[in-house]
Structure formats: C-alpha cells, structure tokens
Amino acid sequence: MSQVDAPLDPAAAAGWRNGPKRKGFFTDTSLCIGCKACEVACKEWNSVPADGLRMLGSSYDNTGALGASTWRHVAFIEQRKPMRELPVRNTATTTAERAPGAHDFRWLMSSDVCKHCTHAACLDVCPTGALMRSEFGTVVIQADVCNGCGYCVPACPFGVIERREGDRTVLNAGVAQKCTFCYDRLGAGMVPACAKACPTESIQFGDLDDLRVHAAQRVSALHDDGVADARLYGEDESDGIGGAGAFFLLLDEPEVYGLPPDPVVTTRDLPAMWRGAAIAGAALLAGAAAACAGRRS
Amino acid sequence: MAECHPVGFQWVMEAKARGAKVIHVDPRFTRTSALADLHVPLRAGSDIVFLGAIINHILTTESYFREYVVSYTNAATLINGDFRDTEDLDGLFSGYAADKGTYDPATWRYLDSRDQTDSGSGVSANAKSRSGGRAEAHAHHSPGDEFGSGGPPLEQSRVHRDGTLQDPRCVFQVLKRHYARYTPDKVQEVCGVAPEAFAQVCEAVIANSGRERTTAWVYSVGWTQHSVGVQYIRGAAIIQLLLGNMGRPGGGILALRGHASIQGSTDIPTLFNLLPGYLPMPLAGRYNDLAGYLESIASQEQKGFWTAADTYVVSLLKAWFGDAATAENDFGFDWLPWINGDHSTYSTAMDMLDDKVEGFFLLGQNPAVGSANGKLQRLAMAHLKWLVVRDLNMIESATFWKDGPEIATGELRTADIATEVFFLPAAAHTEKDGTFTQTQRMLQWHHKAVDPPGDARSELHFFHELGRALRARLASSAAQRDAPLRNLTWDYPTAADGEPDAAAVLREINGRHLAGERAGELLSTFADMRADGSTAGGCWIYTGVFAGDVNQAARRKPGGEQSWVAPEWGWAWPMNRRILYNRASADPEGRPWSARKAYVWWDEELSRWTGHDVPDFPVTKAPSFRPEPGTGGPAGLAGDDPFIMQSDGKGWLYAPSGLLDGPLPAHYEPIESPLRNALYTQQSNPARETFPRAQNLGNPSPPEPGSDVFPFVATTYRLTEHHTAGGMSRWLPYLAELQPEFFCEVSPELASQRNLENGGWATIVTARTAIEARVLVTDRLVPLLVAGRVIHQVGLPYHWGVGGSAVVSGDSANDLLGIGLDPNVHIQESKAASCDIQPGRRPTGQALLRFVEDYRRRAGITVDTGVTKMTPGEQP
C-alpha cells in the first residue's frame, strides 16, 4: 500500500502490529531560549560530525539549516515588532523622547528537526528500503542499507535529508542522513537526546496524541496572554503530509522560520501522474494504431 | 541568565509558568530578554542611578514594608554626628584623604552610648577620645580584605534607635536625603531609560513585595565587575531590605556565579585574604598571636555568631596541624601564612612585572584571555621563572610565549622568555569524585563516571602529591620556616590509581570530636566546636555535611517525595538551611507575615522556632526576648534580630563599617566614560584602585580632555555557546562551531555612522591596544539618548584568544580593558569602558603598535591619565 493512502497510524500501515503509541516531538518555540543544547546533544548521542566553523552573520545562528550533519537546527529571528499587544511592552522605548533606532523588538528562537511525516515522501521513493517506518511511527534511515542514490533528498518537502559528504574517515559518508528520532534510545525506553537536554521543555517528547492536546491548550493560553501570533504548525492531520510526527508552536508565519507554509508530500501526485502518463501512453498507442490502421486502409 | 546559566533558567521558566513576571535590565537584548516580560536597556555603568531612583521612589511613595524595616533593619539606628554625606560634600563622604585616595571610615559609625546624644556637635570630641577601642584601631587604614565576612568588629549592642524613623540622624532619614537626587529624570539623563519604563519597573517590584508576595533580584557576576561593584550589590540589598524581601521564600539577592563551584571556592577559598568559612587571613603587623587575631574578628560585646570565632579557628588549626597543634603553641597559629597587603590577582600581576614573583600556579584559569588587560597579563607571565598550568586543554596562558599577540608585534621574543612552563592536564568533573557548591550554598556530590584520559588527574591528586613531595623533601629539616609543612596532617587514603579519597577530605572539612566520650565521632553542628583543641573541623560553616557519617551532599531524594523546600536534596550550609536569615520570614511576634509566605515561625506551645526550613535563629529564643544591654554573642540577640551574623542583628541599609568607598551606594561614572557625572562633581569612585604604569594606560574621561577620541561605550560579556575564556569550549568542535569567530555587536545606527557591515570586520581601539572582530549588526543593541546626546554601545563577547591550539581562536576582548579595581574586593571594571570603533581589520605586526600610539597621542594619554582619584572642582 502506498504511504499516500495510508491511514492515520503510519506504523500500523507499515505492518507493525500491537506496537507502542505513535511518538512525537512538540517543539514549543515560545519556551526556547536558543541555548542550542539540542544541537549538541543530538551530535553527541548520534556521533554526527562537526560540520564547519563558519560565522554566518545571521543573528546567533551559525548552523544555517538542517542537513546531513545537522539534525537539530536552532533558528534565531530578530524582528521589529512587539511580542504582545498589552500594556507591558518589551522595550523601554515607549517615550516620545526615544533615541534614534529604538523600537519594538523581539527575538524568536526555534529548534527545527525532521518532521517525521505521516505521509513521508522520502520513504516512498527509497528504492532500497533503507528508509523505514519504525514501530514508534517515526521515519528512520538505516545507513548500512542506504546505497546513496539520493532520491530521498529532493523528495523531502522540508529539505531535511542530505547525503553526507566526506571521505572514508567520515562516519556514514556518502549515504543519506537525518534525524532518527533517537531510534536506539526509544527502543531502550529513553527520551530522545534533544528533548532530554532541553532545559526549558521547549522540546517535548511523548505520545503524539497527548502532545497535540497539550499544544492546543498552550496556544489558547498564549492567545489569552496577548500573544496573538501563536499558532501550531504540522499538527493538522488533514494537511499535505497527513500531519507531522514532529510539530511546532510558532510565533509567526512558517516562512519566517524557513518552513514551507503548506507542505505537501511530494509523492502525493505520483499515482495521478502515473495514471495520466498511462492514459497519455494509451492515447499515443491508440493514435499510432489508428494511424497505422488508416494507412492500411 | 538564559544566556549564561541556561540550565538554571529552567526555574525562571517554571516561575513564569506559575505567573511570575520577569524583568530584565541589561545594556543588550539577550536570550534572557527574549523570554522576559520587560527588557530595560540602560547604559553600562549607570546602574546605581537606576537602583538609587528605585530606592528614592520607594521612600517618597512610602511603599516600604514599614514593620519589617523598623524591626529588622538598621533604619532606626542613629549615625554619629560627624558623618557627612555625598549631599554635603558634592560626591564624597566624610573621611576622604585626597592625598592617599582612601577613606578613613571612622565617621561613618553608629552613634553609641559613649557619644553625647543630646546634640550632634558634641559627638566628635567624645568619639575621638575613646581609647583602646578596637573599632577605632580598625577604623584607620583598614582595607576590606583584612576582614572576614563579618566585617570589622563593632561594639554594637549599645546603639541608639528611633522607632519613629523621624530623628534626622537615623539611617532612614540619611537614606532619604542621600537618594533624593536620584529621580526618574536622572535615570533618563544618566542611564538612557525612559521614565515610563522606569515607572513600570518600580510599580512591578513594589506590587510584588509585602506580606503576601516577594521579589527576587538575580545577577550574574558581570554586575560586580565595576569600580563600584560592591556598591551595585549594596544597592539591590537596600531595595530588598526596604521591601522586606530578605530571609523570605521567593526573595533574596541571588548571585549566579561564573563557574560551577565558585561558591565553593569562596567558602573554602582560593582567595588570598580568607581562610575557610570566611575567617580573615592573619595580617602581619596588626597582632602577634591567636588572641589578638580573634579579637580582630569579633568583639565579645557584639551580637551574633561571630563571637564564637575562636572555636572555628582552633578547630581549623586542629584539622590542619593535628596533634602538633596545642594550646601551648597557639594551636599552630604562627604556621599559617600571614598577609601584609593586597595580594589579589591583579596586584600579583603587577608584582610579576616588577620581578617580585618567581612562580605561579594557574588552575582552571586563563588570564591571557580571561583577565582584564590581557597584554599586561602575558607580559607579566613572561617575567616568571616557572609557571604551572593545570587545565583541560593547552590554553593560551600556557602558549603565549610562542604564539601570543606580543610575539607578532615583536614586544616579546620567544628566545628571550625564560619562563619554564609546566602543563599538567586536569581531570574534568565527570572524571573524579567531589562536590559542587552552587549559589544557594548547596553542596552536591558528583560521582566519577569515567577515568580521566591519559595523564589527566584531579586537583586533589595534584595537591596531595605536591604536598607529599614537599614534605618528603623537608622531612629532616629543622628550620622553623618549614614547620608548617612538616606539621601538616597529610594522610588521606588513596585508591589504587593514586587518587585521594574525596569523601575523606569532606569528612575532615566536616570535623570530628577529638576527645571525650565522643572522640572520633563526626561533628553534627558547628555549635559543638570547641576552642580548647577537643574538636577539629576544616570549615566551620560546612560542619554537618557529613553528620552521622553520612555524605549528606550525596542525597538525591526526588522533589516529589519530600516537602517543597526539599531539604533532602544535597546539603546547604549552614546546617542545611535553604534560606539564610529566615527568622525574617515571620513578623516581630514570630507569626508568618502571611499564610501564603509562611516559612519559619515561633510555636508558642512548644516554645521554639519551627517551620518548613531549619530556623536560622537560636531555636528557643522567644520573639519577645530582650537581652540585658551590653550582652554580646548569640545571647545578645533580641528576639527580633533576624540578621544573626550582623554585629547588631539588623539588616544594613547603611553600612557603618566594612566598606572602603562609602556607607551608601553613590553613582560614579566608570573609570573610562565618555560622560561627565551628572550627579556630583566627583567623577569616578574616589577610592578606586589604580595601577598607573606604561602597560596599563587609561582612556581619558571628562573633565580630562581627550575623551572624545573614545566616544563609545564598550561592554564585555559571555555567550551561551562558550565558557568564559574558552578553555572548556573552544577546544570542543561541537561547541566551537556554534560560535566560531570573535565578533562585536553594534546597532544599525552605529554601523551606518562608522560604515560597519554585517559580517565584515571592525577594529576596536582603547589606550591599551586595538583588536579586530567580525561585525554583527543587530537591533539587540539600542542607541541610548543620554544627557541629550546619543550614546552607542559596542558589545564584545570575550571568549576568544590568540593561540594555535584551540579549534577556534581570535582577538581577545579583554585585551582592550585597563586594570582599575573596586577597592573592597579588587575586582576589575570590565563591564564598562570607552572605546573607538573603525571599519576593517587592524594593522598587524609593529604597525599595530604605531596605530595604537597614534590614538594615544591624539587623546593626550600619559601614565597619569585617569589616575587622579579626586576630581578637581568645588569640593571641600
């Protein structure tokens, strides 16, 4: 059965029986302090190599984006707008005598990660079975099975997967790499490294159903507190990826954080495309046959 | 706090989730500001105006917690008539000697019963005619480093108090007059903070204080790194005392320290002027024996627990010298090192330059990068004969002789440096047993998880072996000077790998009975310590950490399985008290101020103090108890004297002794400032410590000419990704890649004014040197409108250094700073200086020296710049 047509429980759809409840990440960016402990804990636990000493000049973000050797990425976004429209303002600039340049300001931080989509295109296109759906409902790459074909790289609507560059000294060089949801830790009943390291519970790990309930409550609490921009991202099971296993509370439009506003599983249209191709092919054949028939006649 | 203490910040987030409001006052917008309800940017170095204006607001709106203030603070205590305030002397307190640049604090003392009390004018003769008084003996030339935490002794039981707070001589009225000029207008003019923002802070702090609520002030050590650093903290203390926020749950002033166990290394100090438990280091020339030393710690006539210092000191000597310490030889008191002046880190660097220091141990410290005026630090170390560096990595302080910045400029040549450097790799905390003591004075035991790599060993191992080697060398020596080492108890059990048993050391610190029925038994309280040599204990405040032969610091009972105070998680000194001075959490009659804030209280039926925490008070002393006048020690504490370590039992709004730069915080500009002091003629702290010399030139500040050459304010700080001078982070690729390069932060306005491009390079200049940094243009730094002009601040994280060993390196921000110190604790002013900034990279080699020399010439800088302590003007 294709992932696209799968029911809401992706693990069951992949053939797991009596497995655990689907696990998820709820990353509440309103609690993120940008400490990057998630990035470091992820690299430590998963032996992900350091990947560059470049200062990007992009606020405090010197990581850039998710990739083969970045499975958690904390974005830093500086904005000239207030956090909330309440009497309490977050800068001391409400005076008429404000200094030049003083203005409302907020600094958004957000730890991004593989979304572990319900409908995962990477998994659909993988020809070797290296990408697999785990019993926890997460999407895992088996590095020793991957042949490095790279089909999954353009298939991901979020640009999460990459082939790791490097020579033989680099672990898993040449094969596709991304967040494993700490599959080994889950199997041992442990919390994923990033969630464990997060000091402020911005990264929350648990049963996806529970996280969704909690996330909805958190959004309304923030709305009540005047943070009108708060919204969830990736929690909607009717979206283009069938809902994400790793979803987010954002404080602005997804594009601000470098996230696609309306992600769609890239293999969604494949059956229709194949049908179209088949019809076109049939029509071509029919035309050719008709032409041949006509010539004969 | 989120920036430098992200793990601790989880508790702030938890408080936020329960409705706490978080206000962040900081020159820059940090990760803390991002999560705060209100961020108030202010000019670096202007904090006392901000704090003073809050004090003024509390006083003028009568928002103080009157019952608390009258009963528990020295607000009602009268000051002697010779005292003159900064209001009277245009920015100076009485007792200032312009020729020496120091204060004689004699006139700051309380009025006492030997003064004539009918009029202020009669006090003088009486006060000066007192003879033999220790207070008087100490009043002169008394550097703060000569006293333990108790400050100089006071004969405090006989003060005069006016409970109506109306007497013009009482502290409350002095405070009112002193802070009257600290107005919201001045906050705007000096700090650059808008009156509306300032009003929000005042309202929030006041609304959240009182019987039902408490407010906490939290600072990181940057707050102390000013030439008036101690007075910053004093300012916060005055606010907390006025609002009744001390000794109560949710209150207090919380110092977040720079390293994991810096609290521990002040309790059992690595400071030159303290012995364990905040006892002063013996001072040469002041007394000759143990009795004289003890008398200098506490008068038997003053109140509180310092009067038992003899039991603490003798127990310490018994712990160190064992059977060799006897009553006949003053328990080996003569074997202690005695100090004869300031031997703090910066003075020692100066002594190195003057070839007065042969050898130097560096343990977990990287002064070539982490100390102010890095160039001076490196030049100083090049004068040493030998240098021992113990660190996790080959830090710049161990390699400056081959790849430091002075090698590049030609100021040092490797071939000319005779310093022999010994690098000894150190074990990390995960590689050894031991304790951390955190800011709440809580000891937490950590177990060794893995073996240290290679030759790395613990500090305990290093010092144990060093001691053994020295003692072996001196075993047959008969020289008197070798007696201290020969008589040292140095017999810690060791494991197969040679590591001493850390628990045995903690037992020694805890102390034990040496004689009587309980001989050999571990002490359970410092109250059991004796001055007759029958007890030993290495640090009296830690007594109880091994009570019952149980390592109390290793307790880890989960919070959910015990009371909310969590007394069974770790162990807090003294006596496992989680909040100091918690008698103040009850009203004068001993009842909780409110049900919501109940903490400890007097149980009438049991006739004793009880509650959620260990009461910090003589447990059977009734609230109504009043001692006979003149009674000293714990017996002299009245039932409403909660501050049991203070010599009068009260919280000090006004410090009648113990400080070297004034009894009340007053605003002085940083030593290097582009602005004139808007409050007084006196520009900078008149008692600040200066080191005029060619290697430590200063930028001029008004009224000196030339300050316009350095028109911007520089401030240094830390980032989450790195740890201080980088020894624990720049060698780790996972951390180094998160902040790979040294950068400066500037506002878009300053960037446009000086043609600085985001991601490009900038050169930052002071009288010391010029450094280069990548540029981060950010709205997180806000130009401030100060005194009618726009002041730009340049932010400088100080984690990088020049060397070839780390994963990432770069110019060091601390190279920019001069050495000017707070006189009380000798801390450097590293959080506020003046500078210039230009686009592009700095010159290299000798061209760099010429570049800086040109700046000095333009600013007219000489060795005498910035060192005149008293500002010329209208002052008397």
Note whether A107 contacts B34, CB cutoff 8 Å: yes
Is B277 a domain residue?
no
Residues of chain A found within 8 Å of residue B40, distances taken between Cβ atoms: 92
Q: In the prediction, which pLDDT does B149 show? A: 58
Cis-peptide into B493, omega within 30 deg: no
Is B99 a domain residue?
no
- Percent of chain B beyond pLDDT 70? 95
Residues of chain B found within 8 Å of residue A43, distances taken between Cβ atoms: 734
Cis-peptide into B703, omega within 30 deg: yes
Q: In the prediction, which pLDDT does A94 show? A: 40
Domain containing B855 — which CATH number?
2.40.40.20
Condensed to tens digits (0 to 9), the pLDDT of residues A93-143 reads: 443 344 444 568 999 999 999 999 999 999 999 999 999 999 999 999 999
Is B554 a domain residue?
no
List the 182-221 stretch of A: residues with Cβ below 8 A of B.
199-201
For residue A124, what is the enclosing H or E element?
helix A121-125
Query: Which among B34, B736, B738 is the nearest to A109, CB-wise?
Result: B34
Whether the CB of B188 is below 8 Å from some CB of chain A: the reply is: yes
Whether the CB of A224 is below 8 Å from some CB of chain B: the reply is: no
Using CA atoms, how far apart are residues B345 and B21, in angstroms rounded to an integer?
39
| Domain ranges, residue B832 | 689-859
Is B233 a domain residue?
no
Residues of chain B found within 8 Å of residue A201, distances taken between Cβ atoms: 10, 13
Note whether B782 contacts A101, CB cutoff 8 Å: yes
Using CA atoms, how far apart are residues A40 and A194, in angstroms rounded to an integer?
8
Please give, rounded to a whole number of angstroms, the shortest distance from the CA of B857 to a CA of chain A: 32
Residues of chain A found within 8 Å of residue B808, distances taken between Cβ atoms: 53
What ipTM describes this predicted complex?
0.92
Residues of chain B found within 8 Å of residue A88, distances taken between Cβ atoms: 21, 37-38, 200
For B316, the 3-state DSSP assignment is: helix
Reply yes or no on whether the pLDDT at A279 is more than 50: yes
Q: In the prediction, which pLDDT does B593 show? A: 98
For B858, the 3-state DSSP assignment is: helix
Q: In the prediction, which pLDDT does B620 show? A: 97
Query: Taking CA B318 as the corner, what is the angle to CA B314 and CA B323, rounded to the nearest 5 degrees?
Result: 135
Q: In the prediction, which pLDDT does B115 show? A: 66
**Which pair of structure tokens corresponds to residue A277?**
């191709």
In this structure, the dihedral spanned by the alpha carbons of residues B35, B39, B41 and B47, taken in order and rounded to 10 degrees, is -100
Number of independent structural domains in chain B: 2
Using CA atoms, how far apart are residues B237 and B658, in angstroms rounded to an integer?
15
Q: Nearest chain B Cα to A222, which residue?
A: B17
Rounded to the nearest 5°, which phi and psi values hold at A50?
Answer: -60, 145
Residues of chain A found within 8 Å of residue B775, distances taken between Cβ atoms: 57
Residues in chain A: 297
| B187 secondary structure, DSSP code | I
Is B377 a domain residue?
yes
Note whether A55 contacts B774, CB cutoff 8 Å: yes
- Least Cα distance to A51 among A71, A77, A76 occurs for A71
- What is the dihedral sign for C-alpha B644, B650, B653, B659? negative
Mean pLDDT of A166-180: 95
Q: What is the CA radius of gyration of chain A?
A: 23
Note whether A90 contacts B38, CB cutoff 8 Å: yes
In sequence order, the 6+-apart residues with CB closer than 8 A to the CB of B810 are B741, B742, B773, B800, B801, B802
Using CA atoms, how far apart are residues B305 and B310, in angstroms rounded to an integer?
11
Is B95 a domain residue?
no
Pairing state between β A231-233 and A246-250? antiparallel
Please give, rounded to a whole number of angstroms, the shortest distance from the CA of B788 to a CA of chain A: 10
Give the start-to-end residue ranges of the domains of chain A. Answer: 3-266, 271-297
Is B753 a domain residue?
yes
**Which pair of structure tokens corresponds to residue B133?**
């008084």
Q: Which of A43, A59, A78, A200 is the best residue to mutate to test the B interface, defined by the most B CB atoms within 10 Å of its own CB?
A: A200
Condensed to tens digits (0 to 9), the pLDDT of residues A188-220 reads: 999 999 999 999 999 999 999 999 999 999 999
- Least Cα distance to B103 among B144, B46, B155, B134 occurs for B144
Q: Nearest chain A Cα to B721, which residue?
A: A35
Note whether A109 contacts B739, CB cutoff 8 Å: no
Residues of chain B found within 8 Å of residue A218, distances taken between Cβ atoms: none
Domain containing B475 — which CATH number?
3.40.50.740
Q: Helix (H) and strand (E) counts for chain A?
A: 8, 10
Is B157 a domain residue?
no
Query: Which among B719, B780, B808 is the nearest to A107, CB-wise?
Result: B780
In this structure, which topology does domain A3-266 adopt according to CATH? Alpha-Beta Plaits (3.30.70)
List the 707-726 stretch of B: residues with Cβ below 8 A of A.
719-721
Within 10 angstroms of residue B402's Cβ, the number of other Cβ atoms is 13
Q: How confident is the model at residue A278 (pLDDT cuts 50, 70, 90)?
A: confident
Q: Nearest chain B Cα to A100, which residue?
A: B783
**Which residue shows structure tokens 């990477």?**
A122
* Spans of chain B, pLDDT less than 50: 117-144, 876
Condensed to tens digits (0 to 9), the pLDDT of residues A149-167 reads: 999 999 999 999 999 999 9
Whether the CB of B166 is below 8 Å from some CB of chain A: the reply is: no
Q: What is this structure's pTM? A: 0.93
**Which pair of structure tokens corresponds to residue B371?**
């100390």
Note whether B196 contacts A31, CB cutoff 8 Å: no
- Least Cα distance to B839 among B767, B757, B782 occurs for B757
Whether the CB of B207 is below 8 Å from some CB of chain A: the reply is: no
